[in-house]
Chain A
């Protein structure tokens, strides 16, 4: 108890710093996955991708990041055993952040695609194990999260398959693909706008003091979707169609139309990523702040402090700006064979899945939904070649991340304990 009383402010500052560090790692590590498909299919330049990512990651984090945060904060571990020793919870959360952040940075350097979500969950499980014991962990919740690792890629793949097949039916396999592209692509744009605005309205606007009813929320989302579609239509009409381009390949101009759509799905993806992954950094931080502000009482229901979400968003953006550029640069050559029509299907599906999952409060991995979505498009015979070996490595690195995160957290937890003499 006295620890929290005497070091409270210091603990918050440490937690905030480490949370920022973690957010920085998320920004640096995941941005390439979220924006890579757009850059790879030449729909966006690197610079544009960075700018879009900054704006929408922050918007997603700030407007829709609250829901998953609470799961990370109080869903994974049961706070009851910590009632008498809240300082352990505080130190544990700090070590979890530190461990996950370190692991992320290390993995980014080595080029392993670890999931930010997995590393933080592993770390939280790790410190809870040594601080109190296995009874402190909500194994049911953890099982749910682990289950979501199988379910979400599957859902995302299925959605991607459907989106891609619909694009085939409506646009590619018709007499006049270009005209149909001009007609239907705005509809896809509206869909993307709808998904994005709906999650914002339903999950995000509460904490900035706007509370809409269900009907008004849907109406607003539909309204925004229509506006987005119209703007998209205007953008497409301004597109220069090169009649000679079709001599080389019938679908060059169609893909151009899709490239505009891809800009929008990239925004969607960044938004979804921000809303989902910011929680990994600020969930533990929110827990620490709560405990300190209530003088060691672990409140069951507590509002997020106002500065926490922006801090996480800022961390992601800074990480993006500093390291993201380098990461995205490596993409240029990597996926030259991904056309905008594929990329859009994968991105829209992944973003929708993340958004749906964020709504349920499950912390899911953005990378996973993307991999699932890409596989879905591949199943529809839409991608020239996918490297299953790489996919296997990615899955392996996901599995490894849990114990590594846990082990790191345990080590750091012991160091902190002796430092504060608990």
Chain B
């Protein structure tokens, strides 16, 4: 209870921390690019340092997520639905978790990625990270959306960003198919267990983009009101 109750009417805005959160989450997924660059060369100490960095970002994101949840008690009157905001941050958080899982799994097995698919893999990863970046940019339009009362031009702008996000996600699907084919053609020369893990990692990297797209559609639902 603040000392002046009238001003207590203005609750802490949930929008700023949500914007902060997606930035951190995107950073975590971005760190996978240098991480894999080291992994390609088998530089496991440097890679592990980056894994720790990703883990720390994931923890930071968790803290923020908790904060947002605590700041959204029932009985807040907001321009968007409370449940929508909570779901949005839950989805956002999954990006960081996924990045942490990918890094952890690769380090844990010291997974060698065959030379022949390295270039494709890096391009694929970069495109998936583009998706999280696009999601981050769209979410960061939140305060502008609030300024315009979730109406008009600003909504159209965000809609356009989300269409772009969908396009990026479709790209990653195509790339994933190509990489799988590349891996399939050389899988007989590799350790079967490693191959199984590689397939898994490829799938998980793709999920970064999937989740980013899901974050986008959550935002879209809020605008649809």
Q: Which residues of A contact B (CB under 8 A)?
A: 32-33, 36, 40, 111-113, 164-165, 168, 172-175, 249-251, 254, 327, 330-331, 334-339, 341, 367, 370-371, 374-375, 378, 380-394, 397
Asked whether B5 lies within 8 Å of A384 as measured between CB atoms, the reply is no
Asked whether B147 lies within 8 Å of A387 as measured between CB atoms, the reply is no
**B75 interfacial contact with A, CB 8 Å:** yes
Asked whether B12 lies within 8 Å of A337 as measured between CB atoms, the reply is yes
Give the residues in chain B near A389, CB-CB below 8 Å: 73, 75
Mark the stretch among B13-21, B100-108, B168-176, B196-204 that contacts chain A: B13-21
Asked whether B143 lies within 8 Å of A383 as measured between CB atoms, the reply is no
Main secondary structure of the interface of A (DSSP, over half): helix
A/B interface sample: 18 pairs, CB < 8 A: A33-B6, A36-B6, A111-B4, A164-B149, A173-B154, A251-B144, A330-B2, A330-B3, A331-B7, A338-B10, A371-B9, A374-B10, A378-B77, A380-B149, A384-B15, A386-B11, A387-B77, A389-B75
The complex places the Cα of A61 from the Cα of B9 at a distance, in Å, of: 27
A384 touches which one: B75, B79, B144 (CB < 8 A)? B79
Give the residues in chain B near A336, CB-CB below 8 Å: 13
Asked whether B76 lies within 8 Å of A387 as measured between CB atoms, the reply is yes
Q: Give the contacts of B1-43 with A (CB-CB under 8 A).
A: 1-16
Q: Mark B153-174, 1 if CB is under 8 A from A, else 0.
A: 1100000000000000000000
Asked whether B6 lies within 8 Å of A367 as measured between CB atoms, the reply is yes
Q: Mark B139-157, 1 if CB is under 8 A from A, else 0.
A: 0000110111111111000
**B224 interfacial contact with A, CB 8 Å:** no
Chain A CB within 10 Å — which of B5, B16, B152 has the most? B5
The complex places the Cα of A60 from the Cα of B182 at a distance, in Å, of: 80
Q: Mark B56-100, 1 if CB is under 8 A from A, else 0.
A: 000000000000000011011111100000000000000000000
Give the residues in chain B near A378, CB-CB below 8 Å: 77, 79
Tell whether A387 pairs with B8 under 8 Å between CB atoms, given A378-B77, A380-B149. yes
Q: How far is the CB of B19 from chain A (nearest CB, A)?
A: 10
B79 touches which one: A168, A251, A371, A382 (CB < 8 A)? A382
A174 touches which one: B3, B72, B153 (CB < 8 A)? B153
The complex places the Cα of A165 from the Cα of B154 at a distance, in Å, of: 15
Give the residues in chain B near A385, CB-CB below 8 Å: 10-14, 72, 76-78
Chain B CB within 10 Å — which of A164, A335, A338, A367 has the most? A335
B7 touches which one: A36, A250, A382 (CB < 8 A)? A36
Give the residues in chain A near B151, CB-CB below 8 Å: 168, 173, 381
The complex places the Cα of A388 from the Cα of B80 at a distance, in Å, of: 15
Chain B CB within 10 Å — which of A174, A335, A338, A385 has the most? A385
Asked whether A390 lies within 8 Å of B149 as measured between CB atoms, the reply is no
Asked whether A388 lies within 8 Å of B75 as measured between CB atoms, the reply is yes
A330 touches which one: B4, B80, B150 (CB < 8 A)? B4
Asked whether A327 lies within 8 Å of B144 as measured between CB atoms, the reply is no
The complex places the Cα of A370 from the Cα of B10 at a distance, in Å, of: 12
Give the residues in chain B near A391, CB-CB below 8 Å: 9
Asked whether A387 lies within 8 Å of B149 as measured between CB atoms, the reply is no
The complex places the Cα of A246 from the Cα of B7 at a distance, in Å, of: 29
10 closest residue pairs by CB, A with B: A173-B152, A381-B79, A384-B13, A337-B13, A335-B10, A385-B11, A387-B11, A386-B77, A113-B5, A390-B8
Give the residues in chain A near B6, CB-CB below 8 Å: 32-33, 36, 113, 367, 370-371, 394
The complex places the Cα of A220 from the Cα of B56 at a distance, in Å, of: 66
Q: How far is the CB of A344 from chain B (nearest CB, A)?
A: 13
Asked whether B9 lies within 8 Å of A32 as measured between CB atoms, the reply is no
Q: How far is the CB of A138 from chain B (nearest CB, A)?
A: 30
Asked whether B146 lies within 8 Å of A111 as measured between CB atoms, the reply is no
The complex places the Cα of A387 from the Cα of B5 at a distance, in Å, of: 11
Asked whether B10 lies within 8 Å of A386 as measured between CB atoms, the reply is yes
Which chain A residue shows the least CB distance to B143? A249
Which chain A residue shows the least CB distance to B153? A173
Give the residues in chain A near B150, CB-CB below 8 Å: 381
Tell whether A40 pairs with B10 under 8 Å between CB atoms, given A174-B153, A388-B75. yes
Give the residues in chain A near B10, CB-CB below 8 Å: 40, 334-335, 337-338, 374, 383, 385-387
Q: How far is the CB of A373 from chain B (nearest CB, A)?
A: 11
Give the residues in chain B near A173, CB-CB below 8 Å: 148, 151-154
